[in-house]
Structure 1
Amino acid sequence: MARITHGIACSHIPALGVASDFDKWEDPYWKPIQEGFAPTQKWEAENLPDVVILVYNDHASAFDMKIIPTFAIGCGESYKPADEGWGPRAVPDVEGHPDLAWHIAQSLILDEFDMTIINEMDVDHGLTVPLSMVFGKPAKWPVKVIPLAVNVVTYPPPSGNRCWALGEAIARAVESFPEDLNVQVWGTGGMSHQLQGPRAGLINAEWDQMFLDKLSGDTQELRHIPHIEYLRETGSEGIEMVMWLIMRGALGKETRELRRFYHVPASNTAVGHIVLEPVNGEVPPSTTVEGNNAAAQSLID
């Protein structure tokens, strides 16, 4: 069966894509970030998954105020880089894994998560920048990617608790997929930053480090942080960190930190990055009205 082996969290600051695309990593401003991710690039090459479930948020590229899904899963064959106003990034198209994506979508919906299913969309820096930070500049991305978009742009975003629970449901879905696949779950966005208003440029390194600390071990404190705390302590865009909790929820009861990187500044934001592995794969059983996802699945098999 398929299995989730690791989780990765990574900021998706668009300027990191610019630094990668235009070979600016030797510039003094960007070099510390390149050096911070270099060990992860080496580690990932040695622990390459078959599929990455990449949790990100769209920045008015695939969605706008006409359509705002809370959770959306890409089930298509491939996804092109989006034109965000200055042309698409010169990075490879993203190759999907429709069989696993459709299986996850079905499992999540039977597990009572109301997913939006997307077969065609372009993906913006929220998804492509983390790929660049972990894989560099390959001619083709070395893994298949299932995009999972979360609304953290327009109020109300989902709660951290709901995101964590979604991660648990993703773990159940992956474990029930019969093909032997190595799967990683990535949470992207953050860390503390605000892009507008009197607090533009806000960085709260102490809070960020607390958040990184509590991604490891068996504590579930992070899932109960209210929206107002993210906004107060980490700025208006710090709410993106709820997407990291989908990754954390998917790793089970307890996790171990393999490496961490944190750097300020990068385009007036904090760069955060962590690699986690599950200590055990235990995730809570489904709490659907059917009793569990397997029971619901049997109704349509």
Structure 2
Amino acid sequence: MAKITAGVATSHVPAIGAALDLGKTQEDYWKPIFDGYEFSKEWIKNEKPDVIILVYNDHASAFSLDLIPTFAIGCAEEFQPADEGWGPRPVPTVKGHSELAWHIAQSAILDEFDMTIVNNMDVDHGLTVPLSLMFGQPEEWPCKIIPLAVNVVQYPPPTGNRCYNLGKAIRKAVESFDADLNVQIWGTGGMSHQLQGPRAGLINKEFDTAFLDGLTKDPQGLAKMPHIDYVREAGSEGIEMVMWLIMRGALNDDIDERYRFYHVPASNCAVGHIILENK
């Protein structure tokens, strides 16, 4: 059967993608960030996932205020990089795993999660920046990717508890899929940041560190955190971290924290990253 072996969480700051695409990774400002992913790039080469379920939020590329799905799973065979106003990123086309995606959709819907099935969508920096951080700049991505878009832009986003339980439903679905696949699940977005208003540029290292600790030691406690705590402590865009709870819910209770990285700043954002392996 298919099996989820590990989870990865990482920020998806769009300026990181621009720095990589424009050859700025060795500049003084950006080098510490990219150095922080060197371990991860070697780790994933050894892990060789067949499929990655990549949880991210769309930034008005595939969806708009006309259509706001809470959870949307990409079931197509491929997904093109989105044009976010300055042309698509020069990254490979994302190849999906349609059969597994449809299986997850069916299983989750029958488990009473109202998943939106998407057969045609472009994917923006929320998905492609994490891939670039982990895989660099290959000619093609080395595995299949299933996009799972979560609404954390328009109120109300899903609760942390709903996200955590969706992760559990995804694990159940994967483990009932009749194929020998090494599957990873990634949660992206965050950490603390606010892009507008009087608190623009907010960074809360103490909150971010506690959240990373909680992913490893007390995910059930994190799942109970209300929306207002994310907004108050981590800024208006800090709510993106509920997506990390989907990743954590899809893992075993017993996990090993394999790697952690945290850096401030990256374009007025805190960059967080963690790798968790199932025991």
**TM over 0.5, yes or no?**
yes
How far residue 22 of structure 1 moved from its aligned partner, in angstroms, is 1.1
2:265 match: 265
**Cα distance, 1:197–1:218 mapped onto 2, change above 3 Å:** closer
How far residue 278 of structure 1 moved from its aligned partner, in angstroms, is 1.8
1:181 match: 181
How far residue 252 of structure 1 moved from its aligned partner, in angstroms, is 2.2
Question: 1:39-62 CA distances to partner (integer Å, 9 max, x unpaired)?
Answer: 100111011100000000000000
2:194 match: 194
Question: 1:199-221 CA distances to partner (integer Å, 9 max, x unpaired)?
Answer: 00000000000000111135511
CA distance in structure 2 between the partners assigned to 1:46 and 1:217 by the alignment: 26
Amino acid at match of 1:92: P
2:43 match: 43
Q: Is 1:168 aligned to residue 168 of structure 2?
A: yes
2:248 match: 248
CA distance in structure 2 between the partners assigned to 1:256 and 1:112 by the alignment: 30
Amino acid at match of 1:62: A
Amino acid at match of 1:165: N
CA distance in structure 2 between the partners assigned to 1:112 and 1:54 by the alignment: 21
CA distance in structure 1 between the partners assigned to 2:239 and 2:5 by the alignment: 26
1:207 match: 207
How far residue 256 of structure 1 moved from its aligned partner, in angstroms, is 1.5
Shifted more, 210-219 versus 241-250: the winner is: 210-219
Question: 1:232-269 CA distances to partner (integer Å, 9 max, x unpaired)?
Answer: 00000000000000000000222220000000000000
CA distance in structure 2 between the partners assigned to 1:23 and 1:60 by the alignment: 26
1:23 match: 23
CA distance in structure 2 between the partners assigned to 1:226 and 1:169 by the alignment: 21
CA distance in structure 2 between the partners assigned to 1:245 and 1:20 by the alignment: 27
Tell me, yes or no, if the aligned pair for 1:217 and 1:256 is still in contact at 8 Å. Answer: no
1:127-166 correspondence runs (5 A)? 127-166=127-166
Question: 1:154-209 CA distances to partner (integer Å, 9 max, x unpaired)?
Answer: 00000000000000000000000000000000000000000000000000000000
1:220 match: 220
Total equivalences in the alignment: 279
Tell me, yes or no, if the aligned pair for 1:59 and 1:124 is still in contact at 8 Å. Answer: yes
1:74-153 correspondence runs (5 A)? 74-153=74-153
- Sequence identity (%): 69
Tell me, yes or no, if the aligned pair for 2:219 and 2:245 is still in contact at 8 Å. Answer: no
CA distance in structure 2 between the partners assigned to 1:219 and 1:114 by the alignment: 23
Amino acid at match of 1:20: L
Shifted more, 108-117 versus 253-262: the winner is: 253-262
CA distance in structure 2 between the partners assigned to 1:47 and 1:60 by the alignment: 33
Tell me, yes or no, if the aligned pair for 1:193 and 1:202 is still in contact at 8 Å. Answer: yes
Tell me, yes or no, if the aligned pair for 1:71 and 1:114 is still in contact at 8 Å. Answer: yes
Tell me, yes or no, if the aligned pair for 2:57 and 2:151 is still in contact at 8 Å. Answer: yes
CA distance in structure 1 between the partners assigned to 2:38 and 2:22 by the alignment: 18
Q: Is 1:9 aligned to residue 9 of structure 2?
A: yes
Q: Is 1:60 aligned to residue 49 of structure 2?
A: no
2:33 match: 33
CA distance in structure 2 between the partners assigned to 1:221 and 1:111 by the alignment: 23
* SS, match of residue 214 in structure 1: helix
How far residue 64 of structure 1 moved from its aligned partner, in angstroms, is 0.2
Cα-Cα RMSD: 0.7
Amino acid at match of 2:75: C
Amino acid at match of 2:71: F
Tell me, yes or no, if the aligned pair for 2:219 and 2:248 is still in contact at 8 Å. Answer: no
CA distance in structure 1 between the partners assigned to 2:182 and 2:217 by the alignment: 22
CA distance in structure 1 between the partners assigned to 2:172 and 2:226 by the alignment: 26
Amino acid at match of 1:141: W
Instruction: Could you tell me which runs of 5 or more consecutive residues in structure 2 were left unpaired when the two chains were aligned.
Output: none
Q: TM-score, normalised by structure 1?
A: 0.92
Instruction: Could you tell me which runs of 5 or more consecutive residues in structure 1 were left unpaired when the two chains were aligned.
Output: 280-301
Q: TM-score, normalised by structure 2?
A: 0.99
CA distance in structure 2 between the partners assigned to 1:166 and 1:272 by the alignment: 22
Tell me, yes or no, if the aligned pair for 2:166 and 2:246 is still in contact at 8 Å. Answer: yes
**Cα distance, 1:81–1:117 mapped onto 2, change above 3 Å:** same
